[in-house]
Amino acid sequence: MTQATISDAVRPAKRWRLRADPSAVPEGDWPPLIGRLLALRGVETASAARAFFNAAAPMPTLPDLEKAVERLARACREGETVAVFGDYDVDGITSTALLYENLTAMGATVLPYLPHRDSEGYGLNNAAVDSLHALGATLLVTADCGTSSVDEVATARNHGMDVMILDHHTVPPLLPAALAIVNPKRDPNSSAEPSAGGICYYVLQALREAMDFPEDDGRMLELVALSTVCDLAPMVEGNRALVRDGLRAIAKTERPGLRALMEVARIDPAGVDTEAIGFALGPRINAAGRMAHARLAFDLLVSTDETEAREIAAELDRLNRQRRQATEDAVELADELIADETDAPLLMVGHEDLPAGIVGLVASKLVETHYKPSFVYQRGEHESVASARSIREFNVTGALRSCSDLFVRFGGHRMAAGFTAKNEQLPEIKERLIAYAAEMLAGQDLTPALEI
């Protein structure tokens, strides 16, 4: 039986749930259907509707923004060596590219660093910090990671480096001793949910203003749109405006890498939309980190050479095809391994033949099939790297925090997270996660909802 047949056979039924009250139609000069669609998006007043249609991207309240801008401005004016440590997904890669291009243009020497998914795992690590210090970095900026990196930030500070964190992941009880932690989740009153690329954009916009640097000509917005769509940031308010303007910029982009990527994906630039980003461009960018090294996608985005861009885009297209087949094989293996455990409130499965680059995709398939929080890991020689995907009713990062003493490192969002752990800890991790899920999910209706 193929994986698709297994999934189709056991996929749970869904209950319908309205996103909002469809009768709360805002007054305005638009067709009834548009009014109902606005209501389903929670837009219930005429002023809210006008704001929705004419969305701008005002600067949200960002903790430590002034500290970050002041330190970056000094680094640019004095030509310091700035290390930028990103993540290996689209959000992390585009964030790293944004910082690299802009800080370089403003006078800094920038060392971009994207970790290897298999050998380094998610998040800042001490070996990378040591390496960047040895290369002369005096300022370390993390992009799309770092909020939980207490020990690694301490290592950087012991080297005499200043550390700045630009991130949007869940904030732990203990924060790193960084110079600035620009993370909207630190503000309990903030409703802003930008991607890491969005945060980098806002910081760089403030930096441009502080340094009297020319306004962005659209190059930043191209990357921010990729970041926002691929990280599934909610398409409201500032995010919607950034994506709208970013799509317009992509349609007329002069960036060789984006043009080459759209060519291999058979996307007409004039018709590029969020679907094209989410299902064609994004997977090819992600394929670099999943199947090879994220640096390949970074090099594509910042390339100024047409020939180089075409070569890299062709390689990413090949890696994406390879990723599709590897995912099908891995899901089939995971289904076999989990067959006797599907009654548990939480699923956790691992094997040396489950590639670390696609365990998150496999976890997503398990959630889709069983509607249970799912952890999938590649078992390494000494350590294992896991990705988790969750359901609406279960905070997966909260679950990880409940047994944080067992991890080498961990981090993530409410719905998606990951960890690295010593192999000898895996049985206890599984036992404690299942017990936590049993307690948190007791008595809940776990029929998946279809929002309409």
**pLDDT, mean over the chain:** 93
How far, in Å, CA of 291 to CA of 317, rounded? 11
**8: pLDDT confidence band, cut at 50, 70 and 90?**
very low
Give the pLDDT mean for 14-24: 68
**pLDDT for position 416:** 94
Report the range of poorest mean pLDDT among 137-151, 370-384, 392-406, 436-450: 436-450
Domains detected in the chain: 27-56 (no CATH), 65-251 (3.90.1640.30), 339-444 (3.10.310.30)
How many angstroms separate the CA atoms of 256 and 342, rounded?
A: 47
Which pLDDT score, from 0 to 100, does residue 41 have? Answer: 76
| Model confidence pLDDT, tens digit, residues 103-147 | 999 999 999 999 999 888 889 999 999 999 999 999 999 999 999
The pLDDT, as a whole number, for residue 281 is: 99
DSSP one-letter string for 22-91 = TT-PPPSSS-HHHHHHHHHTT--SHHHHHHHHT---PPPP-TTHHHHHHHHHHHHHTT-EEEEE--SSHH
pLDDT at residue 38 tops 90: no
pLDDT given for residue 296 in this prediction: 99
Element (DSSP H or E) covering residue 111: strand 109-113
CB within 8 Å of 192: residues ≥ 6 apart = 60, 61, 62, 184, 237, 238
| pLDDT over 70 (residue 431) | yes
**pLDDT tens digits, one per residue of 239-253:** 999 999 999 999 999
* pLDDT at res. 11: 63
pLDDT at 7: 43
What's the pLDDT band for 18 if we cut at 50, 70, 90?
low
Which range has the worst mean pLDDT, 45-59, 199-213, 297-311?
Answer: 45-59
Percentage of residues of the chain with pLDDT beyond 70: 95
Q: What is the structure's pLDDT at 19?
A: 65
Q: Is the pLDDT of residue 14 over 80?
A: no
Q: Which two tokens stand for residue 329?
A: 């094989």
Backbone φ and ψ for 146, nearest 5 degrees, come out as 110, -20
Residue 22 pLDDT? 64
pLDDT at 232 over 70: yes
d(CA 231, CA 219): 19
pLDDT in tens, 146-184: 999 999 999 999 999 999 999 999 999 999 999 999 999
Here the tokens at position 308 are 């180089």
Q: Is the pLDDT of residue 300 over 60?
A: yes
Name the more confident of 395 and 6: 395
How many Å apart are CA 259 and CA 263, to the nearest integer? 6
Cβ–Cβ under 8 Å, residues 446 and 11: no
Query: Per-residue pLDDT for 56 more than 90?
Result: no
| DSSP E strand boundaries for 366-448 | 374-379, 383-389, 409-412, 416-422
**Per-residue pLDDT tens for 275-285?**
999 999 999 99
What integer pLDDT is reported at residue 4 of this predicted model?
Answer: 42
User: Given a cut of 90, is residue 191 above it in pLDDT?
Assistant: no
